[in-house]
Amino acid sequence: MEKISLTTTAHNCFFTSTLPKTSSFSSSLFASNQLLGLPLSSSSSSSSASTNPRLRLVSRNAASCRTVKCSVSEAAEPLTERRQLKRRGDVRNIAIVAHVDHGKTTLVDAMLKQTKVFRDNQFVQERIMDSNDLERERGITILSKNTSVSYHDTKINIIDTPGHSDFGGEVERILNMVEGILLVVDSVEGPMPQTRFVLKKALEFGHSVVVVVNKIDRPSARPDFVVNSTFELFIELNATDEQCDFQVIYASGIKGQAGLSPENLAEDLGPLFESIIRCIPGPRIDKDGALQMLVTNIEYDEHKGRIAIGRLQAGVLEKGMDVKVCTSEDSCRYGRVSELYVYDKFSRVPAESVEAGDICAVCGISDIQIGETIACKVSGKPLPSIKVEEPTVKMAFSINTSPFVGREGKYVTSRNLRDRLYRELERNLAMKVEDGETADTFIVSGRGTLHITILIENMRREGYEFMVGPPKVINKKVNDKLLEPYEIATVEVPEEHMGAVVELLGKRRGQMFDMEGVGSEGTTLLKYKIPTRGLLGLRNAILTASRGTAILNTIFDSYGPWAGDMSTRDQGSLVAFEDGTSSSYAIASSQERGQVFIGPGVDVYKGQIVGIHQRPGDLSLNVCKKKAATNIRSNKEQTVILDTPLDYSLDDCIEYIQEDELVEVTPQSIRMCKNPKLQKKTR
C-alpha cells in the first residue's frame, strides 16, 4: 500500500500524518480531521467547510490547542528590497492593544513579574505601568508607555496602550514602532468597539497579530464564541489570509497563567512568550544604511530636557553623534545626541550605541517634535510622518471672569492659558488648538469629551484657573450638505432596565442595528449608530435610567447626514441671584424647587448654578437669605432637614452644561455658572 504525506494548516501550525492512498480525496480529508479531533460526516461537509468561514473557523479552534510550529507569514516584497533588509532575531517589538478594561496593564504586570524584572522580596503595586496620578485614580491607561523584558536571550520591547477610544491617537502613534501586536480580548465580552479600531489600524500597517483571550477564569467565559467573533472581525476588516491565520492564546492575566487551550493552562505565561517569539517577526532593518529614526513619543525631564523616543529603522546611533533632524525634504536642521538610552526591564539604561531595530530614547535636541526624523548628517532622508484621525468634538477655553478669580489659581492670564494649550500640542497629536473670536478665548478640539477633560484635569492640578464651555461636535459641509459625526455605541444592560435605555437612545436619534444576550447573567448587548451630539450628556442619563448597571462604550464610525434637532436635557438650572454665603434657612426652601449642588456656608456669586430645577427653564433664587431676627419668640425651635447636596465631578459638570452655561475650573473648586455673554431671560 502506497503512503502519502498530508499537511493540514491551522493557526500557522503544521501537522503531518502518513495515510493510506485511496482514490477519493475526501477519505484522506476525513482521516486528517480525525487526526485533529474534528468530526466530518461526509464529503458534502468537506466541500462546505472550504466555502463557509464559520466551518473553517471551527477547525481552526480545535487545531489551536495543538500548536507545533508557528510560521511568520511575510508579504511579498521586491527582491531588491529583500536583499537590503535583514531581520534581527534577538529583538521583538510588540504593542498590547485592547478595549478598555480587558486586562492589558494587568497582563503586562504578570509578564514583568515572571521575567524577574523585580526582586522576589520587592513590593510592587498593581498596574505598575499606570504611573500617572490620574491613571491610578480613574483606573484607566491614558498615555502609552514603554518597558522591556528578556526571555531566552530575546529582548521583548513592550508598549502598553490606552483602551479608550478618546485616546486612539496614542495607539495610532506607537504602531509605527512595532512589528506585531497582542490583541487582548475579554473571554466574556469578546471584541468591542475599541478592539475593532486598534485591530483595523494594526492590519493596515501589516502587523502580525497574536490573539490573547484574557480572563479565561471568569465563570461565564465563552472562549469559542470569542475566537469566532474575533475571526469574523478580521474578515470584516479585509485582513489578508496570512493575517487571518492568527495564533490564539488563552490567559488569566491576574493569575499569570496562559495556555493553548482554555482547559489546560500552564503554571506561568510561558506559552504566551513562546508565541511572541515564534509568531511575531523581528524588526526588518538596514544595518549598514544611513541613520533613520522616527520620533513617535516625547517625554520631558527637568535636567535632560526633551527626550525623543522611537525605533531605529536603519544604521547605528551613537552617543555624541551629530545628526540631522528632518520634517520634510526641504526643512532640516542639525543637532547632537548628548545622551542615549535603551529600555531594560522597567527603567531606561544609558547606552553608548544602539543598533537598528531597537527602541531607544534620545536627549540633546531641545526642539524635537513627534513625527520628525533623526537622520544621518550627510545622507539622511526623512521617514513618512505620523498621521492620526481628525478630532470630532471641540470646547471653548477662556480666562476666568467670575468674581472669585485669582483666589486659588497660580496661572490666570490669557497668556498663561495660551502657552499651556499650545504646549500640549507638542505631545498630544490627536488634539488641535485654535484662537477663538476674542483674544482670551481658545478652541480646543479632541477625539471626545474624555480626551479634553483629561487635559482640563491636568491643567487644574498644575495651578491653572479658567472657564470652559459646553462640548460641541465638529460638523462638515460636503456638496452643500451638512454632515455630522456618528459613533457606534454599545450598551451592556440587564434585561429589566432595557426598555428605559432603548427609549433614551431613541430620543437621541440612535438607530439600533444589533441586540444579543451576553453570558449567563441575563445581560443584553445593544448596538446603536448614534450622532455624536446624542452622546453628549448621555453617560449620566443612561446610568440613571438603568440604576447604575449599564456600561456604555463608543467609537467613532463616520460622518453622515444631519440627524435633526434633539433635546439632551429636559430640566433647567437653579441660579443664585446675589453674592454671599449660603445659609441652611435658604437652602431648606430652595431644595423644594429641585436638587441643589451646595451646602450651607458656601460662598456663591450672582449667576452661579446652585442646583437642578425640577421643571424646564431656569429659576433664579436666593440661597443666601437669613432668617429674620425679631423680638417675637416662637414656642418651638424649628429643625431644618437638608438633603445631601449633589456632588458633581468635572466630567459630570461638562456633561450637564448647555449652550448658555460655563464650567469654572480652579485648583480646588469646580463651579458652574451662566455665561454672561449669552444670558437668557430666566423665570
DSSP 279-334: HSPPPEEBTTS--EEEEEEEEEETTTEEEEEEEEEESEEETT-EEEEESSSS-EEE
201: Cβ contacts below 8 Å, ≥ 6 apart: 171, 172, 175
Return the pLDDT at 45: 37
Return the pLDDT at 395: 92
Give the three cell numbers for residue 539: 453617560
Return the pLDDT at 237: 86
Mean pLDDT is lowest, of 26-35, 325-334, 369-378, for 26-35
Q: Where are the alpha helices (DSSP H) in 508-611?
A: 532-535, 538-545, 584-590
**pLDDT tens per residue across span 282-319:** 888 777 788 888 888 888 777 888 888 888 888 888 88
Q: Which pLDDT band, with edges at 50, 70 and 90, does 537 fall under?
A: confident
Q: How far is Cα 444 from Cα 440, in angstroms, rounded to an integer?
A: 13
**329 or 172: whose pLDDT is higher?**
172
Q: Which pLDDT band, with edges at 50, 70 and 90, does 128 fall under?
A: low
Residue entry with cell 477519505: 27
Residue entry with cell 502587523: 207
**379 or 7: whose pLDDT is higher?**
379
Return the pLDDT at 117: 59
User: How many C-alpha atoms does 377 have within 13 Å on its Cβ side?
Assistant: 10
**334 or 41: whose pLDDT is higher?**
334
Share of the chain above pLDDT 90, in %: 8
Return the pLDDT at 630: 67
Which residue, among 102, 316, 246, 274, has the nearest Cα to 188 in the 3D structure?
102
Amino acid at position 636, single letter: K
Asked if residues 193 and 99 have their Cβ atoms less than 8 Å apart, the reply is: yes
* 245 has a pLDDT exceeding 90: no
**pLDDT tens per residue across span 555-581:** 888 888 888 887 777 788 899 988 889
Return the pLDDT at 468: 93
Return the pLDDT at 68: 36
**What is the rounded average pLDDT of the residues 588-612?**
89
Return the pLDDT at 120: 54
**What is the rounded average pLDDT of the residues 50-60?**
41
Mean pLDDT is lowest, of 25-39, 200-214, 422-436, 510-524, for 25-39
Q: Which pLDDT band, with edges at 50, 70 and 90, does 634 fall under?
A: low
Q: How far is Cα 17 from Cα 11, in angstroms, rounded to an integer?
A: 17
**What is the rounded average pLDDT of the residues 119-132?**
52
**601 or 426: whose pLDDT is higher?**
601
Return the pLDDT at 46: 37
**pLDDT tens per residue across span 151-194:** 888 888 888 787 776 777 777 778 888 888 889 998 888 888 77
Mean pLDDT of the chain: 78
Beta-sheet strands, E only, within 302-449: 305-314, 316-318, 322-326, 332-336, 339-344, 347-350, 353-355, 359-363, 373-376, 393-399, 432-435, 441-446
Q: How far is Cα 72 from Cα 671, in angstroms, rounded to an integer?
A: 56
Q: How far is Cα 531 from Cα 508, in angstroms, rounded to an integer?
A: 8
Q: Which pLDDT band, with edges at 50, 70 and 90, does 456 fall under?
A: very high
Q: For residue 533, with 0-12 CB atoms within 10 Å meaning exposed, 13-18 middle and 19 or more buried, which class applies?
A: buried
**What is the rounded average pLDDT of the residues 626-654?**
75
Q: Which pLDDT band, with edges at 50, 70 and 90, does 519 fall under?
A: low
**What is the rounded average pLDDT of the residues 393-402?**
91
Q: How far is Cα 97 from Cα 202, in angstroms, rounded to an integer?
A: 10
Amino acid at position 435, single letter: D
**What is the rounded average pLDDT of the residues 76-103?**
68
**251 or 631: whose pLDDT is higher?**
251
Share of the chain above pLDDT 70, in %: 80
Return the pLDDT at 642: 81
Return the pLDDT at 663: 93
Return the pLDDT at 290: 84
Amino acid at position 450, single letter: L
Mean pLDDT is lowest, of 140-144, 220-224, 325-329, 481-485, for 140-144
Mean pLDDT is lowest, of 384-398, 480-494, 618-632, for 618-632
**410 or 522: whose pLDDT is higher?**
410
What φ, ψ does residue 530 adopt, rounded to 5°?
A: -140, 140
Of 285-294, 457-466, 618-627, the range with the highest mean pLDDT is 457-466
**What is the rounded average pLDDT of the residues 323-350?**
82
* 199 has a pLDDT exceeding 50: yes
Q: Sheet containing 594-596: give its strands across.
A: 594-596, 609-613, 573-576, 619-621
Return the pLDDT at 8: 35
Q: Which pLDDT band, with edges at 50, 70 and 90, does 63 fall under?
A: very low
Q: What is the DSSP letter of 191?
A: S
**682 or 346: whose pLDDT is higher?**
346
478: Cβ contacts below 8 Å, ≥ 6 apart: 559
Return the pLDDT at 616: 87
Q: How far is Cα 645 from Cα 574, in angstroms, rounded to an integer?
A: 13
Integer-rounded Cα radius of gyration of the chain: 29
Mean pLDDT is lowest, of 191-200, 230-239, 394-403, 508-517, for 191-200
**What is the rounded average pLDDT of the residues 321-340?**
83
616: Cβ contacts below 8 Å, ≥ 6 apart: 570, 571, 572
Return the pLDDT at 466: 92
Return the pLDDT at 38: 39
Return the pLDDT at 666: 92
**What is the rounded average pLDDT of the residues 129-157?**
71
**433 or 17: whose pLDDT is higher?**
433
* 41 has a pLDDT exceeding 70: no
Bridge-based pairing state of the strands 247-252 and 208-214: parallel
Q: How far is Cα 657 from Cα 663, in angstroms, rounded to an integer?
A: 8
